[in-house]
């Protein structure tokens, strides 16, 4: 097969940026060497940056379940256009991914429509058994997700944002008891446990109708996050589990996490562009486009999260890409469902933030290297180095991009970052050496494959 030679770019390698030739054969990077050293069919990327493809470890494809909101086709069109070459999908699709059978059907569906590689998280229910987790792992789950405080509709096989479980169809949410019971199995499997960290007891105590954005902040206080993190960390530490905290949103949550790390917990942290770029002050302009769980909070929280990224305490930026229809989001603050799309703007928003911090190359660590480690993909993805998949993003650092609803490839056009201007543009994107996006156009091919974490035996 022809070798490809990417020449002329400044390349981000694990040792930092440099002027290198990158050769690719059969979808895999074969060499990263001095200019003029590579051989092959030349791809001239002069004046651009060459970065490892993004890995968004927190997306909601809505597929199967909610085709009006999104599906794997629209999700991964947005991903490809945004330089994200791997997505890892959350299990709250319908039917929820709580068994090997459900995971396998979802994988088949995703394979049929995905333009980028994909991995799948598995769901922990309060009734899940150790045996089910073992089967989910052999079916290829990247790890397990527990939505603390989210009930489960048994008849609909759906995770619900409902707090009270008086309805007999609603199964109680997974709680610290569930996690303690399943901890030995998770430890044995060696896969990460991800939590949606909002303590239901605290949310319950502060419930109120949403008339203003201040009501949202009061109803979902930062203590809900910090308590959930501390309690889960205590279980994880006892059983030596890798605990990953999804979408950290508050300074207090961060503090709880840092205390847990200092106490010896194997804990990684993720935050999202919306918490890094937005504060309560943006609600007047953005409205329900920035309603999500946990909420976007205050400037002091944003500052603490940016600081934690700089200190490398937070190793993953993911999007919690959670689209709804624009009609659903047009409802009032009380009724509009929580969530914002984000996969398309992940890479560029991180490059811009990293540029503000004085080192734009940090973005590749937040959206590629760190996420690869979380998903068990460190041996195949997340780096421009020999032996790694040729998932490559070509970025023009001389052109700017303004995030606008009309450029969004997701079904939901309005997101929390709309209007943000960044001083970069994505020129082209390669998945395992195949161009999937170039100069504003997606390739028509669906080429996505399922990724599985290294070291887990295939059933
Ligand atoms: C998510 C969704 O809609 O699936 N919504 C959100 O506000 N983040 C669920 C979740 O991650 O809590
Ligand atoms: Zn989510």
- Ligand 1, atom 2, residue with closest C-alpha: 322
Q: Kindly state if the Cβ of 429 falls inside 6 Å of ligand 1.
A: no
Q: pLDDT-based confidence at 163, cuts 50/70/90?
A: low
Residue 165 to residue 260: CA distance in whole angstroms? 31
What pLDDT, in 10s, does the model give residues 212-235? 999 999 999 999 999 999 999 999
Q: Kindly state if the Cβ of 318 falls inside 6 Å of ligand 1.
A: no
Instruction: Take residue 373 and report the two structure tokens written for it.
Output: 């480690």
Residue 40 has pLDDT above 70, yes or no: yes
Q: Kindly state if the Cβ of 410 falls inside 6 Å of ligand 1.
A: no
Instruction: Take residue 201 and report the two structure tokens written for it.
Output: 């007891």
- Ligand 1, atom 6, residue with closest C-alpha: 339
Q: Kindly state if the Cβ of 92 falls inside 6 Å of ligand 1.
A: yes
Instruction: Take residue 411 and report the two structure tokens written for it.
Output: 């079904």
CA of 372 to the centre of ligand 2 (A): 18
Please identify which residue in the block is written with the tokens 């105590």.
205
Mean pLDDT computed over 118-143:
98
CA of 112 to the centre of ligand 2 (A): 23
CA of 338 to the centre of ligand 2 (A): 10
- Ligand 1, atom 4, residue with closest C-alpha: 322
Q: Kindly state if the Cβ of 293 falls inside 6 Å of ligand 1.
A: yes
Q: Kindly state if the Cβ of 292 falls inside 6 Å of ligand 1.
A: yes
What pLDDT, in 10s, does the model give residues 171-207? 999 999 999 999 999 999 999 999 999 999 999 999 9
CA of 90 to the centre of ligand 2 (A): 7
Residue 65 has pLDDT above 80, yes or no: yes
Q: Is the peptide bond before 95 cis (omega within 30 degrees of 0)?
A: yes
CA of 387 to the centre of ligand 2 (A): 32
What pLDDT, in 10s, does the model give residues 372-410? 999 999 999 999 999 999 999 999 999 999 999 999 999
CA of 58 to the centre of ligand 2 (A): 6
CA of 360 to the centre of ligand 2 (A): 26
Q: pLDDT-based confidence at 360, cuts 50/70/90?
A: very high
CA of 293 to the centre of ligand 1 (A): 6
Q: What's the pLDDT score for residue 126? A: 97
Q: Kindly state if the Cβ of 196 falls inside 6 Å of ligand 1.
A: yes
Q: pLDDT-based confidence at 165, cuts 50/70/90?
A: low
Residue 62 to residue 91: CA distance in whole angstroms? 9
Which atom of ligand 1 sits closest to the CA of residue 339? 7
- Give the full edge-to-edge strand order of the sheet including 158-160: 158-160, 151-153, 170-171
Mean pLDDT computed over 250-254:
99
Residue 445 to residue 438: CA distance in whole angstroms? 13
Q: pLDDT-based confidence at 149, cuts 50/70/90?
A: confident
Give percent of the chain with pLDDT exceeding 90. 95
- Of 54, 70, 73, the closest CA to residue 62 belongs to 70
Give Rg (Cα) of the chain: 21
Which atom of ligand 1 sits closest to the CA of residue 293? 7
Q: Kindly state if the Cβ of 339 falls inside 6 Å of ligand 1.
A: yes
Which atom of ligand 1 sits closest to the CA of residue 337? 3
Q: What is the CB-side half-sphere exposure of residue 301 using CA atoms within 13 A? A: 29
Instruction: Take residue 281 and report the two structure tokens written for it.
Output: 């002050």
């Amino acid at each position: 097969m022809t070798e490809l030679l990417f020449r002329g770019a400044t390349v981000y390698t694990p040792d930092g940026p440099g002027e290198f030739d990158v050769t690719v054969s059969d979808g895999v990077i074969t060499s990263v060497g001095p200019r003029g050293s590579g051989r092959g069919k030349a791809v001239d990327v002069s004046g651009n940056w060459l970065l490892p493809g993004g890995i968004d470890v927190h997306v909601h494809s809505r597929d199967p379940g909610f085709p009006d909101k999104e599906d794997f086709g629209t999700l991964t069109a947005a991903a490809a256009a945004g330089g994200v070459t791997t997505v890892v999908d959350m299990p709250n699709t319908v039917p929820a991914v709580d068994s090997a059978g459900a995971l396998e059907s979802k994988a088949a569906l995703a394979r049929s429509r995905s333009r980028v590689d994909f991995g799948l998280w598995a769901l922990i229910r309060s009734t899940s058994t150790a045996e089910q987790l073992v089967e989910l792992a052999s079916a290829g789950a990247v790890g397990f997700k527990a939505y603390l405080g989210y009930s489960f509709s048994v008849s609909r096989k759906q995770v619900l944002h409902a707090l009270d479980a008086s309805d007999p169809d609603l199964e109680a949410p997974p709680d610290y008891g569930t996690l303690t019971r399943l901890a030995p199995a998770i430890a044995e499997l060696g896969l990460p446990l991800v939590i949606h960290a909002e303590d239901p007891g605290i949310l319950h105590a502060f419930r109120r109708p949403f008339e203003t954005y201040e009501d949202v902040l009061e109803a979902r206080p930062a203590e809900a996050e910090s308590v959930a993190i501390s309690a889960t960390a205590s279980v994880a530490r006892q059983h030596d589990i890798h605990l990953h905290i999804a979408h950290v949103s508050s300074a207090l949550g961060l503090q709880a996490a840092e205390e847990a790390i200092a106490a010896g917990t194997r804990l990684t942290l993720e935050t999202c562009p919306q918490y890094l770029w937005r504060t309560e002050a943006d609600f007047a302009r953005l409205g329900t486009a920035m309603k999500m769980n946990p909420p976007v909070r205050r400037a002091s929280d944003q500052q603490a999260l940016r600081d934690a990224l700089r200190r490398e305490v937070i190793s993953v930026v993911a999007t919690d890409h959670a689209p709804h229809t624009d009609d659903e989001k047009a409802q009032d603050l009380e009724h509009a469902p929580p969530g914002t799309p984000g996969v398309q703007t992940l890479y560029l928003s991180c490059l811009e933030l990293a540029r503000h911090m004085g080192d734009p190359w940090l973005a590749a660590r937040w959206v590629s290297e760190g996420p690869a480690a979380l998903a068990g993909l460190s041996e195949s993805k997340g780096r421009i180095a020999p032996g790694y998949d040729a998932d490559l993003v070509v970025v023009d650092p001389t052109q700017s991009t303004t995030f606008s609803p009309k450029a969004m490839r997701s079904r939901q056009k309005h997101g929390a970052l709309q209007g943000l201007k960044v001083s970069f543009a994505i020129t082209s994107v390669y998945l395992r050496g195949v161009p999937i996006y170039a100069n504003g156009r997606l390739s028509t091919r669906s080429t996505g494959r399922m990724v599985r974490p290294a070291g887990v035996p295939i059933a």
